Amino acid sequence: MIRWLIRLIKIFLTVSLAFAIAVIDIYYSYDAIREQTNVMDIEEYTPISTIKVPENTITYSKYSFFNVHNNQFDMPVKDLSKMVHEMNTLNMAFIVNLSGFRVLYLKKSLANIHDNVPIRFGLFLNVDFELIDDTDFTEQNEKLIAYAVAQGVIGLKVYELLGLTDKDRDRNRIAIDDPRLDPIWAACGKHKIPVLIHSAEPFSFWDPKDEFNER
């Protein structure tokens, strides 16, 4: 029994050693081939710029500035005092958060701003365009825009989903110039707020999302 066990251990050690040697050999052979063929993994690619110009790193703006395109998705619960401190280190006077959303999320976002730093943040609201076929779509969004503006919202942000992935009840893509949306734009005009629309995307965004899509 003992001899059999010793023999089994020797076989195991021999096989393990041979396997380890093979792995090491493959590893170093792979490195040698990569070096000879000038091939590397993309994760290893960290090029050093060859541009030789004087460096002038600016960490603080000479003049106060506005960040007019920002997305703070956690605005209802965000510690704004910490964010204001970070803004101050850059001399950033004001941030426009384009992601105010709607209903409860919008109310909580507005409350956080009003209760803490109302003069440092502006908020845009967002509309759910996939509800376009609801009978009260126009009425509800007109009320939403009126309420939002009354509470201090300064604009409407339209994400790239409109015209790209948003669809109506018949599964047709909703176009930006769909006449059913006219009351939305009219309401924004009535309340004198701007509309920012993200409408330009690469052609491949409309192609199938498969292994051939560069995006």
CATH code of the region 65-206:
3.20.20.140
Using the predicted structure, report yes or no on whether residue 17 has a pLDDT greater than 70: no
* Band of residue 24 on the pLDDT scale cut at 50, 70, 90: low
Using the predicted structure, report yes or no on whether residue 32 has a pLDDT greater than 70: no
- Average confidence score pLDDT of the chain: 85
Q: pLDDT of 53-67, one tens digit each?
A: 888 888 999 999 999
* The pLDDT value given to residue 211: 77
- Where do the structural domains in the chain lie, given as residue ranges? 2-44, 65-206
Q: pLDDT of 144-189, one tens digit each?
A: 999 999 999 999 999 988 988 899 999 999 999 999 999 999 999 9
Distance CA 185, CA 178 (A): 11
Q: pLDDT of 112-121, one tens digit each?
A: 999 999 899 9
Alpha-carbon dihedral angle through residues 74, 98, 108, 82, given to the nearest 10 degrees: 50
Q: pLDDT of 185-203, one tens digit each?
A: 999 999 999 999 988 777 7
Q: pLDDT of 45-56, one tens digit each?
A: 788 888 888 888
| Residue 99: both structure tokens together | 């992601």
Using the predicted structure, report yes or no on whether residue 205 has a pLDDT greater than 90: no
Nearest to residue 102, comparing CAs of 156, 138, 59? Answer: 156
Distance CA 29, CA 32 (A): 5
Q: pLDDT of 92-112, one tens digit each?
A: 999 999 998 888 999 999 999
How would DSSP label each residue in the chain?
Answer: -HHHHHHHHHHHHHHHHHHHHHHHHHHHHHHHHHHHHT---GGG--PPP----------S-SS-EEEEEE--TTTTT--HHHHHHHHHHHTEEEEEES---SHHHHHHHHHHHHHH-TTTEEEEE---GGGTTSTTHHHHHHHHHHHHHHTT--EEEE-TTTTTT-B-TTSPBPPTT-GGGHHHHHHHHHTT--EEE-----GGGGS--STT---
